[in-house]
Amino acid sequence: MSDTKLEDIHIDVLKEIGNIGAGNATTALSEFLGRSINMTVPEVKILPFTQVPEVVGGPEELVAGVYLNIVGEAPGSLMLLLKHDDAKKLIEILMGQQFSDEKDQLDEMAQSALMETGNIVSSSYLNALGNMTNLKVVPSIPAISVDMAGAILEVILFQVDEDISEHVILIGTEFLYEGDKIRGHFFLIPDNESFPKILNSLGISYGDS
């Protein structure tokens, strides 16, 4: 296929990677926190990179983003985006404390907790991806930014220059804890050559075929 219109069976393959990654991340996060937290993957899709800000409410939406590079046989980037209010809710779960009205900003400790969570979940997704594709993919040390969605995407574009794929794989992720449901968005952003390599390794014909 020459575009990114995938059949349901192909989406199911990508979603299975998300489900396996979420299962592994659930175990790792629960061990990290010392209490049970669950994750689900309600949505997986491929979309143009330019549409990423719209997923979280538009380019001017204030978000927290955890970003890391992927090195190995399918280089690229992986990014977790959460709306600012959702990020605060997740941090409240992680740190066991509520934000006061006066303390609206994410301090260094809060950002550190969120970054470690992004690192744990990202590594789980990458492990699942590597196991299913037989491609070696290794995450870098993560970084975090709190800014407008459009600004964060511009920084990523500047960092990767022209090597980035025009399309990304979205793994919609929900964190579940004691009745609370927090929506996050993981974006697998492959390099140009990595995107067809990942899909072809999953048995999904992509390119000129």
Which residue range(s) make up the domain with 193?
Answer: 3-202
Residue 177 CA from chain centroid, whole number: 19
pLDDT in tens, 87-130: 999 988 888 877 665 556 788 888 999 999 999 999 999 999 99
| 176 found inside a domain | yes
Cα 114 to chain centroid distance, Å, stands at: 13
Rounded mean pLDDT, 10-35: 88
Report the CATH number that the domain containing residue 165 is assigned in CATH.
3.40.1550.10
First to last CA, the chain: 5
Residue 180 counted as domain residue: yes
Q: Which of 96-105, 133-142, 147-156 has the highest mean predicted lDDT (pLDDT)? A: 133-142
Instruction: Identify which of 46-50, 62-66, 191-195 has the greatest average pLDDT.
Output: 62-66
Kindly give the pairing relationship between strand 62-72 and strand 143-148. Answer: antiparallel
For the chain, what is the domain count?
1
Q: Model's pTM, two decimal places?
A: 0.87
pLDDT of residue 196: 86
Q: How high is the pLDDT of residue 99?
A: 64
Among 29, 75, 49, smallest CA distance to 153 is for 49
Distances in whole angstroms, Cα of residue 113 to Cα of each of 29, 86, 94:
11, 14, 7
Domain presence at residue 171:
yes
Compute CA distances 143 → 32, 67, 140, 158, 186, whole Å. 19, 5, 9, 15, 14
Phi/psi region, residue 175 (left: phi>0; alpha: psi -120 to 50; beta: rest), is: beta
Residue 209 has pLDDT above 70, yes or no: no
Within a domain: 110? yes
| Residue 207, in any domain of the structure | no
Q: What is the pLDDT of residues 157-197, one digit of tens each?
A: 776 655 777 888 999 999 999 888 999 999 999 888 898 89
Is the residue at 208 inside a domain? no
Q: How many CA atoms lie within 13 A of 169 on its CB side?
A: 27
| Residue 64 located in a structural domain | yes
209 belongs to a structural domain: no
> Quick check: 201 and 135 in contact, CB under 8 A?
yes
